[in-house]
Chains A and B, each alone.
Chain A
Amino acid sequence: MNQNQATSLLLLAPDDQRGEYLRHLMRAASKDSEIISAARPDEALRKLTGASCSAAVAEGSDGLALIKAVSDAGLDVPVIFIAPDDEGDLFDRARAAGASEAIFCSELSPDTLQNALHYALLYRSQDGQTEGKEKHAEVVAMERTESLARLASSIAHEVRNPLSLIILAADFLAKPKPLTDAVRANVVNYLRHGASRIEEVVTSVLAACAPKELALEAHSTNEIIEEALLSVQSRAPAGIQVNFIKDCAANLPAVFVDRARMVDAVRHLLTNAIDAMPTGGDIGIKSYAQIFISSERADWQREGWFRAGDVGVIIEISDTGHGIPEDKLNHIYELFFTTKPAGRGVGLGLATVKKIIQIHNGRIAITNRPKGGVLAMLTLKTAAHS
């Protein structure tokens, strides 16, 4: 591609300080380009069609709408999407809808934007089409290789520790000596613990990577919560006080879900809450129904995810732990990303939860609470509105 070629770039952003900031970044990222502004997706689409722009930069839910409109119109214009940091879901949907590149706000800089524009233009350029496709394939292959290497390394680490238990327990039992029943029971317990940890790793990997078909039926949210709670009762280390404070609304409408998977999702969130409080604390578990009205969650409404009057069921799980460092929030749904110490998780929990909620067409939001700790919020459609 000819780097000196003058180009026109479109910016879809409000005509305010935020828009001015983005315009400034685009100028810094692509000095020779003319920046054309639009404040609404329909205006942006019109200008893209008329002004033969080489690429577009768009943010938030308007940006997602533009990506879809560009795709529907069959325009060959790459759109670089900027997602608010707390909208991981929007980020994923933009990529799925065909965004050339998606960047979280906190990662936005002249450099990241320049990089994204470079590949977007390379990809589009007539001369550079082959090169661009090859480059893209190369990047995808590299990301896949890195991701696989990370996967292999994480699994290896998580399996080696329990394997150590099994080998050392076997070595201890193999040496001839009198054993009391208590010592034998103890060693057998170590063996079983090691084996079940390996089983847990394998199951988690499979759950995160290879979802099976869903068995959707109407279920009680509170029964799902109870089942998940039962499975994590012994998770807290001995001597550590974890209080489960329940505030579950009675007579909630049923949700249309795969029960085992939804129990698994809630179990992962509870496990994370327990692990986030190594010295103990409170876990709040709340469930309630909410009638959506048209003025709330404009992004969900725009996506057509709910209609005014639809009823959703919300599960909230909060803890009083250390919270998630702000710079890590963008990565919490990534496979094998973990803030936990060795032996407490491979970084599959939230990736699994997100996958489960996505395939149920639900919504997940994870934020730090102002008073400390984390709040995880799952929003599910009720059986009547699924």
Chain B
Amino acid sequence: MNAPSRKKRILLVDDEPFLTSLLRMNLEDTDEYEVREENNSLNALDVIKEFVPDLILLDVMMPDLDGADILFRLKNDQRLKHIVVVFHTATVSRTELTSHGGIISGYPFLPKPASADQIIAFIEANLPNPLAN
């Protein structure tokens, strides 16, 4: 018999608390995810270490540390660099992104605004494959 699979851990890092709150509500509604929100980018790395998410949905423009800063620090940490990072941002448009195949500098981007279904599909498409090593 298969062991019950645990919920996938998603960390939302965005300086807009209302937005992360609504994202969390929509994600938790599916009963598929364990979600954590972080609105202070300076705390993001500590939360990542403690929560160890499967995927981070990261905003780009934030005060103190922006999304690129957090990504850089994450990828330079041996214990954390395997964590999947995807960007959710208002700084690029859907048209701009389409011309880059949804990927900028090697990282998947989802432009704001996006519907709950689009965000869930985006997360699912980028979550690490559980069968992969």
Contacts and interface: CB of A to CB of B under 8 A. Distances in A.
Given A164-B113, A167-B114, A342 B90 contact: yes
Interface in A13-70: none
B93 to A, nearest CB: 7
B77 interface: no
Interface in B9-33: 15-16, 18-19, 21-23, 25-26, 29
Interface of B is mostly: loop
A278 B41 CA distance: 13
A160 B62 contact: no
A163 B115 CA distance: 10
A194 B22 CA distance: 12
A177 to B, nearest CB: 7
B99 to A, nearest CB: 16
B115 A161 contact: no
A172 interface: yes
Nearest to A237: B17
Contact of A165 (B22, B29, B91, B117): B22
Interface of A is mostly: helix
Contacts of B19: 161, 164-165, 168
B112 interface: yes
Given A165-B18, A341-B15, A172 B29 contact: yes
Given A161-B16, A161-B19, A193-B18, A172 B26 contact: yes
Most chain A CB within 10 A, of B21, B63, B90, is at B90
Contacts of B25: 168, 172, 187
A341 B15 CA distance: 9
A163 B112 contact: yes
A72 interface: no
Given A156-B90, A177-B29, A278 B113 contact: no
Interface string A153-167: 000110011011111
Interface residues of B, number: 24
Contact of A161 (B26, B63, B90, B93): B90
B103 interface: no
A175 B16 CA distance: 23
Given A157-B90, A342-B90, A343-B15, A168 B23 contact: yes
Contact of A171 (B15, B21, B26, B90): B26
A56 to B, nearest CB: 44
A313 interface: no
Contact of B29 (A161, A175, A342): A175
B59 interface: yes
B68 interface: no
Contacts of B115: 167-168, 171
Most chain B CB within 10 A, of A157, A165, A171, A341, is at A171
A175 B120 CA distance: 14
Contacts of A171: 26, 115-117
A165 B19 CA distance: 6
Most chain A CB within 10 A, of B91, B93, B112, is at B112
Nearest to A340: B63
B61 interface: yes
Interface string B47-91: 000000000000101110000000000000000000000000011
A123 B61 CA distance: 42
Given A164-B90, A164-B113, A342 B61 contact: yes
A301 B111 CA distance: 53
Interface in A122-137: none
A155 to B, nearest CB: 11
Nearest to A159: B90
Most chain A CB within 10 A, of B16, B23, B29, B111, is at B16
Contacts of B112: 160-161, 163-164
Contact of B113 (A160, A175, A177): A160
A265 interface: no
Nearest to B21: A190
Contacts of A168: 19, 22-23, 25-26, 113, 115-116
A165 B14 CA distance: 13
A333 B4 CA distance: 59
Contacts of A186: 21
A165 B23 CA distance: 9
Nearest to A160: B90
A169 interface: yes
B24 to A, nearest CB: 10
Given A161-B112, A163-B112, A341-B63, A190 B22 contact: yes
Q: Which 5 pairs, one residue from A and one from B, show the smallest C-beta to C-beta distance?
A: A341-B63, A160-B90, A171-B116, A168-B22, A342-B61
